[in-house]
A and B are shown apart, each in its own frame.
Chain A
Amino acid sequence: MAELRKRGLTTAVICSDPFLKLAKTQARVFGVPDLPLVIIPHPLGGLSIEQVEGRALVAIPQVVDLIRSHAK
């Protein structure tokens, strides 16, 4: 993911909230401290299909914003 970002592609890591610190640290470690993070509520496992769709609804506007900002 870091490599894609470095190549200038629209890139993001989807991350649930308890993993935010780890994700930010890893982005720094891999040399892309500005790597966009799409934050969704925890957990990821043990969800009904409706709950999974709910996570997607949280992620989609963030991804759309990311693509829009990248296009500018």
Chain B
Amino acid sequence: MSGLAGLLKAEGASLEAEDDFEQINKLYLERGWGDGLPIIPPTARRVEQMLAYCDRPWDEPVAKIAPRYGEATPLRLAANAVMAGCRPEYFPLVVLAIEAMCEEPFNLYGVQTTTHPCAPLMIVNGPVARELGINSGHNAFGPGTHSNATIGRAIRLALVNIGGATPGLGDMSTFGSPAKYTYCVAENEAASPWQPLHVERGFPAEASTVTVVGAECPHNVNDHESLNAQGILTTIAGTMAITGSNDPCFEAQPVVVFGPEHARTVAADGYTKADAKRFLQEHAQLPLGKFSKENIDRRFRVRFKEKYATAGLDALVPVVQRAEDIIIVVIGGAGKHSAFIPTYGSPRSVTRALKRIDGQLAKSVEEFRRNGIN
């Protein structure tokens, strides 16, 4: 344990505590180091086991997490992954997701500090999603799967403990969101009639990727009656066309989650993903008059004056400015449901591929494993 022992000697890198689960949890709660749930104490042994799946230098930051701009070293991320209950083999995805959400276009500062209830949604594609058993089927957004639950939780703990997203201090969300506990899913590529998200974004199918979106919770779209693409898409577009989301006011990239049954119905009518996006963009529009008078007079007519300065109340306001900005993924099991996920609005989603330190795409998390640590 020589490498780690040396790093832990740095000021503030570790603390001495009695080996007592309840006492350590009490201490962490008192210091605000967590999400309110019990944590697994990040002992040197457990952190080193986590770092066994890291091929980077343990003390070199992979990113800085806003708003504190705390340095996300593998060592610190590993401590948070241990606290969240991650298995060591999940760790490469935790690192990757943090790197993705710290890219400039994602605007993590905004996502972390805003009064809006957004959280980084993490969508995993490719073989590593299957290797780690990340749920893409029944209840993928819900409880019950170890990797979904703990990878997403590790992200949240890192956002709080390294990034400073402490409620009321660095996280000013008016009322927060259950998605701030954990928000990690995989796409159900096997059940999708379309290209998976990462292939659509230019990555090879054998790549494993993480896509992050500054997102609200999913809003369900129930459609048990429609028999064709137009029907399903009309219901989804109707669910998207709401006045209270951020999306109509930005060049947003909201997510439409197709349940596999809805996706099959739409694809069976010959709709490609691009076709579905075009339909949704054209139909997820609402008349200006649906917004409140003040929103029309003080926002639309002023901020978007080129379009709405003198527009009538029947002028249509699109929820999404460009069809290609709609993110479509297929997730879930049996059932006639899809979901719409509104976003914080301004951040761009970011997709990153899982790569080894030599820059090659990783086919398996085992490629990150360091020898000599058990």
Binding site for B on A (CB under 8 A): 18-19, 21-22, 25-26, 29, 46
Which one, B144-152, B162-170, B365-373, is touching chain A?
B162-170
Whether B323 is near chain A, meaning CB under 8 Å from some CB there, is no
A29 touching B168 by the CB < 8 A rule? no
For A46, list chain B residues within 8 Å (CB): 294
For A29, list chain B residues within 8 Å (CB): 67-69
For B164, list chain A residues within 8 Å (CB): 25
Complex Cα gap A62–B352 (Å): 46
B172 touching A25 by the CB < 8 A rule? no
The smallest beta-carbon distance between A60 and chain B, in angstroms, is: 22
Whether B343 is near chain A, meaning CB under 8 Å from some CB there, is no
A21 touching B68 by the CB < 8 A rule? no
Which residues of B (45-76) have their CB < 8 Å from a CB of A? 67-69
Whether B113 is near chain A, meaning CB under 8 Å from some CB there, is yes
Select B68's contact among A18, A19, A25, beta carbons within 8 Å.
A25
For A26, list chain B residues within 8 Å (CB): 67
Complex Cα gap A1–B114 (Å): 18
Look across to chain B and name the residue whose beta carbon is closest to the beta carbon of A46.
B294
Q: Chain B binding site: helix, strand, loop or mixed by DSSP?
A: loop
- Over the window 102-120 of chain B, the binary record of Cβ atoms lying under 8 Å from chain A Cβ atoms (1 yes, 0 no) is 0000000000010000000
A21 touching B169 by the CB < 8 A rule? yes
The smallest beta-carbon distance between A65 and chain B, in angstroms, is: 27
19 example contacts (A-B, Cβ-Cβ < 8 A) are as follows: A18-B172, A19-B172, A21-B168, A21-B169, A22-B67, A22-B113, A22-B169, A22-B170, A22-B172, A25-B67, A25-B68, A25-B164, A25-B169, A25-B170, A26-B67, A29-B67, A29-B68, A29-B69, A46-B294
For B172, list chain A residues within 8 Å (CB): 18-19, 22
Look across to chain A and name the residue whose beta carbon is closest to the beta carbon of B171.
A22
Which residues of B (132-188) have their CB < 8 Å from a CB of A? 164, 168-170, 172
Complex Cα gap A46–B170 (Å): 23
The smallest beta-carbon distance between B247 and chain A, in angstroms, is: 18
Complex Cα gap A25–B113 (Å): 12
For B169, list chain A residues within 8 Å (CB): 21-22, 25
Complex Cα gap A18–B169 (Å): 9
For B68, list chain A residues within 8 Å (CB): 25, 29
For A19, list chain B residues within 8 Å (CB): 172
Complex Cα gap A22–B67 (Å): 9
Look across to chain B and name the residue whose beta carbon is closest to the beta carbon of A28.
B68
Complex Cα gap A18–B115 (Å): 11
Look across to chain B and name the residue whose beta carbon is closest to the beta carbon of A49.
B298
Complex Cα gap A46–B292 (Å): 12
Additional A-B contacts beyond A22-B67, A25-B169 (10; CB < 8 A): A18-B172, A19-B172, A21-B168, A21-B169, A22-B170, A22-B172, A25-B68, A25-B170, A29-B67, A46-B294
Complex Cα gap A25–B164 (Å): 10
Complex Cα gap A42–B69 (Å): 26
Look across to chain A and name the residue whose beta carbon is closest to the beta carbon of B294.
A46
Complex Cα gap A22–B98 (Å): 22
For B113, list chain A residues within 8 Å (CB): 22
Look across to chain B and name the residue whose beta carbon is closest to the beta carbon of A48.
B294
The smallest beta-carbon distance between B174 and chain A, in angstroms, is: 10
Complex Cα gap A34–B67 (Å): 18
The smallest beta-carbon distance between A21 and chain B, in angstroms, is: 5
Which residues of B (68-110) have their CB < 8 Å from a CB of A? 68-69
Complex Cα gap A36–B310 (Å): 40
Look across to chain B and name the residue whose beta carbon is closest to the beta carbon of A30.
B69
For A18, list chain B residues within 8 Å (CB): 172
The smallest beta-carbon distance between B170 and chain A, in angstroms, is: 6
For A21, list chain B residues within 8 Å (CB): 168-169
